[in-house]
Amino acid sequence: MPHSTYLPERMGSATISPDGCFEAGSYQEITLTYTAGYFGIDDTGSIKVVHRFASDMGRPQFDDPKAPNFTTVEASNGAVLHVEYDPKRNIRPWDKTLYIKVVRGFLREGDRITVRFGDRRHGSPGIRVQTFCESTFEFRVLVDAIATYDYVELPEQPVIAIVPGPPVQYQTVVPSARCLGQPFRLCVKGVDRWGNPSNLCNEVFRLRANLNVQGLEQPIHLKPGEFSKIVPNLKVPETGVLTINLIDSSGNVASRSNPCKIAENAKLLPFWGDLHGQSEETIGTNSAREFYEFARDQAFLDICVHQGNDFQITTPFWEHLNELSAEFTENDRFITFPGWEWSGNTGLGGDRNVLLMKEGRPIHRSSHALVDDLSDVDSDANSASDLFEVLKDEDCVVFAHIGGRYADIKMAHDRRIERSVEVHSAWGTFEWLIEDALEQGYRVGIVSNSDGHKGRPGASHPGATKFGAYGGLTCILASEFTRSGIMDALRKRHHYGTTGNRIILDTRAIFDCKSDLYADNPDMGGTRISRTKSAMMGDIVRSSVDYVNFKIDVHAPSPIERIDIRNGTETLEVFRPYTENELGKRIRVLWEGSEYRGRGRETVWDGFAELIGNEFESLTAINRYNLDKKFEQTTPSCVEWTALTTGGFGGFDAVLRDSHCGQLKIVTQLVRESIPIEQIGRDELIFANGGIDRRIRVFRLPDINPNYQVCLDREIKLHTDRDNALYVRITLEDGHVAWASPIYVFH
């Protein structure tokens, strides 16, 4: 146990008022009353009221009675209390701490400490409760009755339920590809303002498809109490790219589905997964069982993997995770893998993710930091090099990722099992990780996942605290929808990553003559070779040609803003699907980047933009997931915001009254610029300020961009002295991004 177990029944009790259910992200006044037990609390003794690391409940403040989150603390006997809030004052995952110390006086049995979170008596709107759902949100109380700073947890803890709010938007999900006549399903859900699937929907929809869809039920009714509506056994008897619009009772398009490519036949089909997330047994929210249920039934994933911090995974929990992965794996419906997040210190290699092919295998932790049972401590792998050594004969794959710690793949990498790097998660966007790999000559693929802690794998809205981005998804191109089929695709790097949307992305290298396609990395020796004139993302090919034809095929759920075509760390071309003549009155302002690679990567972009000699006709925020952050038009010519980035980007689109008149003034702590409107064109203006790609970009867009599909052919000259890692980065107008795994071509 992390705390003392001395006589908890004599340490008092705690209650919550009101109790029951509270809407996620709503403002409330919640009173916690601690009643002292037999020992009371001695002079300089204290209590802690703690919440999980993952919680984004409003931070209690004690200075402004009229502002949100105002919190008061009183002792019934008049004892003087010292009160602090510290997000790291207790043992993880219960580290967010309201610390209350008796500094003059003491408490006897029956005396009370009353904590009013969101005290409304002086005008505060209340405290904003957590923005994501949890059936058992605890106000965990720890007591140091004898003033030894050795705390005892109360035997019964106050609990409330956080539930979804009403829907503010609807989402429609279909597979990304099917063969002619192959059945599929349509999934519809509503989500509240914080991204939680809502069971408060009550709407009748019609469905409008651009292709002939057999079995399309009309209409569909999403009823109160339902989190989703699934229409099964749909078929399309013609080839093309299918989209389905959800039409509400007013005749408006409530949502547009992701595209689904219907082909005559296909050797590989795309399956969507979130390969990285945690539950409450480690540092996340809700149980591991609920984790998989959400992924399958509310995020509509095909693949999901629980990846708890290994130094919190006890042996019983490891056994339970293995039982769950076996239970939830069902061929052609839902695939999981047993695995863990190897959470080594940065100086020992940093974070990795381990996906095992089968259950019943040992876990090799980075440490036993929060595991009291040391009977298997000898099985630990304390460094990344140790991890690769103990896994060398294991049927598994590993990928490097960035969380609190970052993976130092320059320090440690094993080409046998570390097949990919994670360039995006809810922590942010980290393209420097694939650049590190390419600089070292590694042949790895690209994945994106959530690393979610909020119980929403596959639909991982970041909420309102440390997470700076929407959680990613990985699209795996597999020959069969089984564990072995998915594992084979992961080993071959046949996948691409996105920041959370479902885009269709295909890249191909076409050769003038037959070339050697390797079944695995030839650096390992003994790999099979076949002859080919074509290679897909993730493939490794040896060819004698000087040029390849690089084909890019994109079908997106929102308009395409740009495509970056890359060979390794070199950007060969930035393609935009519109010309200068198509530009209009719309300009885009983006802030992006991070401070550095470690935990303190957040970059603050609070500021404003002002038009001089012009006005804003309309403003639309981009990637504004944290609704606590301000984005407000204060005058016809001024917009103010509070924002931060952790490697990705945010910003806004502005439609101007006059397309070329006046100046745009941008003021932030990091960048201050005044830009003539007439100088803002198709090519971006970049204003950099150190860090990792820390900058503001400004450019112009068409008033309406109709380009949801782009097909490109590019002749690329190959380097003869090193790998040619050919891949693309797709940026969409809605703020989402996708990365193809590279095709590796060498002489």
Whole-number pLDDT of residue 605: 96
What whole-number distance in Å separates Cα of residue 565 and Cα of residue 550? 9
Give residue for tokens 């103010």: 640
Rounded to whole angstroms, the Cα distance separating 494 from 35 reads 59
429/351 Cα distance (integer angstroms): 15
Q: Strand 529-536 to strand 504-518: parallel, antiparallel, or no bridges (unpaired)?
A: antiparallel
- Identify the CA nearest to 477 among candidates 465, 492, 459: 492
Q: How many CB atoms lie within 10 A of CB 636?
A: 11
Q: What is the DSSP letter of 279?
A: -
> What does the pLDDT average to over 460-483?
93
Q: Is the pLDDT of residue 29 over 80?
A: yes
Is residue 460 a contact partner of residue 454, using CB atoms and an 8 Å limit?
Answer: yes
Residue 686's Cα: distance from chain center in Å? Answer: 27
- pLDDT, position 456: 97
On the question of pLDDT at 500 being above 90, the answer is: yes
Residue range 552-597, pLDDT digits in tens: 999 999 999 999 999 999 999 999 999 999 999 999 999 999 988 8
- Distance from C-alpha of 130 to C-alpha of 25, rounded to nearest angstrom: 5
Residue 671 region by backbone torsions, left for phi larger than 0, else alpha for psi between -120 and 50, else beta: beta
pLDDT digits 0-9 by tens, 324-344: 999 999 999 999 999 999 999
Question: pLDDT value at position 596?
Answer: 84
**325-331 contacts at long range (C-beta below 8 A, 24 or more positions apart):** 325/359, 326/359, 328/292, 328/296, 328/304, 329/483, 331/481, 331/482, 331/483
Q: Where are the alpha helices (DSSP H) in 32-103?
A: none
Reported as a pLDDT band with limits 50, 70 and 90, residue 601 is: confident
Query: How confident is the model at residue 667, as a pLDDT?
Result: 98
pLDDT at 514: 96
CA dist., res. 442 & res. 725, Å (int):
10
Is 312 buried (19+), middle (13-18) or exposed (0-12) by CB count in 10 A? buried
- pLDDT for residue 404 is more than 90: no
- Outline where DSSP puts E strands in 12-166: 13-17, 21-23, 27-28, 30-35, 46-51, 71-75, 80-86, 96-104, 112-117, 127-128, 134-138, 140-144, 152-153, 159-163
Outline where DSSP puts E strands in 494-569.
Answer: 495-498, 504-518, 529-536, 540-542, 547-555, 560-567
Q: In this predicted structure, what is the pLDDT of residue 525?
A: 84
pLDDT per residue as tens digits for the range 444-458? 999 999 999 999 999
Query: Tokens 């090799």 map to which residue?
Result: 364
Q: Which residues pair with 246 in a beta bridge?
A: 207, 255
Given the DSSP bridges, would you call strands 169-173 and 184-191 parallel, antiparallel or unpaired?
Answer: antiparallel
pLDDT at 598 over 90: no
Q: Please state the φ and ψ torsions of residue 430, each to the nearest 5 degrees.
A: -135, 65
* Both tokens assigned to 285: 């929210």
Cα separation, 580 vs 398, whole angstroms: 45
Joined together, the tokens standing for residue 509 give: 């290298």
Q: How many CB atoms lie within 10 A of CB 106?
A: 18
Which pTM was predicted? 0.96
Helix (H) / strand (E) element for 728: namely strand 724-732
State how far Cα 429 lies from the chain centre: 10
pLDDT at 545: 96
- Read off the pLDDT band of 2 (50, 70, 90): confident
540-542 and 743-746 beta bridge pairing: parallel
* Mean pLDDT for the chain overall: 96
Q: What is the pLDDT of residues 615-654, one digit of tens each?
A: 999 999 999 999 999 999 999 999 999 999 999 999 999 9
Buried b (16+ CB within 10 A) or exposed e, 44-77: ebbbbbbbbbbbbbbebeeeeeeebbbbbbebee
pLDDT of residue 527: 86
- Tokens at 299, concatenated: 């995020």
Express each pLDDT in 232-245 by its tens digit.
999 999 999 999 99
Residue 251, pLDDT above cutoff 80: yes
Report the distance separating Cα 654 and Cα 621, nearest Å: 9
Residue 1 has pLDDT above 80, yes or no: no
3-state SS class at 675: strand
pLDDT surpasses 80 at 283? yes
Q: Which domains does the chain have, with CATH numbers?
A: 8-163 (2.60.40.680), 169-263 (2.60.40.730), 269-502 (3.20.20.140), 582-701 (no CATH)
